[in-house]
Chains A and B, each alone.
Chain A
Amino acid sequence: QKEVEQNSGPLSVPEGAIASLNCTYSDRGSQSFFWYRQYSGKSPELIMFIYSNGDKEDGRFTAQLNKASQYVSLLIRDSQPSDSATYLCAVNDSSASKIIFGSGTRLSIRP
């Protein structure tokens, strides 16, 4: 059973600080990695994707990938209350045409 593991949280971070979200995955063949944000009662939206080892920055968001350690992370700089949501890590299933979602980390930014 291929798995994507995330700490469920809640992760509480003060406004303006850096929020760090982590994810590990079991499928060594996975090549594509994604972060989705889901507000309560809404559907997920894609915020970042990363395919190569290292860092990828997009505005206040940085995705980090280490395939050797099977580890993906998302950093959110200058956290805002509007960043409070559940963040879902997802990776492609190397043997099937689908992606596998983690259970999500609930992030709370306190003013």
Chain B
Amino acid sequence: DTGVSQNPRHKITKRGQNVTFRCDPISEHNRLYWYRQTLGQGPEFLTYFQNEAQLEKSRLLSDRFSAERPKGSFSTLEIQRTEQGDSAMYLCASSKDSLTEAFFGQGTRLTVV
């Protein structure tokens, strides 16, 4: 499968715990995006990378969120000290460059209890 892969698909965690999600983009896609989506809403932009460089991070994003793309391939999104409001679907997408379409993964559904 050469699509965008996200792991895990589902994560249930207790409030206050840290969680980490992984995204493997389509091979040779330079751009990688992280979005968060809640029921009835559109994907909310979190951050994006051009190769290994994190180019933009949403101003609405808490300091508890951090993302990396160390070698310009896969990326991880970590949420520290999770809160119930963090419960959402976390979507990763990749694109070849800034001018082409984004391909989404299946997402990681986070539930904070």
Q: Do A and B bind each other?
A: no
Chain A interface (Cβ within 8 Å of chain B)?
none
